[in-house]
Amino acid sequence: MIKIGPPHSTTDGKAWDDAGRDKIVQIFIELREQGIISLQFLYAENRNLVSSDKHGGDRISAPKFDVVSVQRINFPISWPNLPFFWFKIIVYTKQVTLNCPSVYITGINGSYGRSFLSYWQDLIFSITFITNNRTNGPFGGRGNSSVFQYQLGPDRSFGGFHGRARDHLNAIGLYVKQSTTLSNVPVTVKNEAV
């Protein structure tokens, strides 16, 4: 497989890797208005449903998704020369269900940048999951950001996700399966006299 992305170089967060996990049944997206907190995937593997680790949300939310819910989280924040105050964030959980194996990932796009709410770390502000039959999203906010886009085409070349995360989703990339046949590759044969 070929590892693609993330669209920006970052050392924020810790690396995670779901290489080879291409049969996605559900995607759980934990987000707030300013960006993506975490992702978690439910995969079909060997006729079983297997949950991935939760990527992100280390200090903000529960370790795994059990119930889709809306949470209100209070953060104590103090800045030099400013009084101590509480900052409230509403966290939403969204769920995308894919009719695996007939529905599969053909691309993702979104936006990223830095935010003071993520302690000036790189943060995925928004993400959209594209399948062979529809577009799911965008999820998240915009922020002051740059955009990324990975389009794989209509075939089943998606090979899994990878990225970096800690308190938020800091970066995301994907794997592309290498073609095992030349039937889709245009070949030109040139005959020359010897």
- The average pLDDT across 19-25 equals 95
Q: What is the pLDDT of residues 147-162, one digit of tens each?
A: 999 999 888 999 999 9
* Better-predicted residue by pLDDT, 6 or 144: 6
Q: For residue 80, is pLDDT > 70? A: no
Q: What's residue 77's pLDDT?
A: 46
Q: Where are the domains of the chain?
A: 2-176
Report the 10 Å Cβ neighbour count for 142.
14
The pTM (predicted TM-score) of the whole model is 0.78
More confident residue, 102 or 80: 102
Match 């009719």 to its residue by tokens: 99
Nearest-angstrom CA–CA distance, 35 and 37: 6
* pLDDT surpassing 60 at residue 189: no
The mean pLDDT of the chain is 80
pLDDT tens per residue, range 115-144: 766 667 888 999 999 999 999 999 998 666
Residues above pLDDT 90, as percent of the chain: 51
Quick one: fold of 2-176? Vitelline Membrane Outer Layer Protein I, subunit A (2.100.10)
- Rounded to 10 degrees, the C-alpha dihedral 121/122/126/127 comes to -130
Q: Which long-range contacts (CB under 8 A, 24 or more apart) does 45-50 make?
A: 45/21, 49/25
For residue 192, the model assigns a pLDDT of: 56
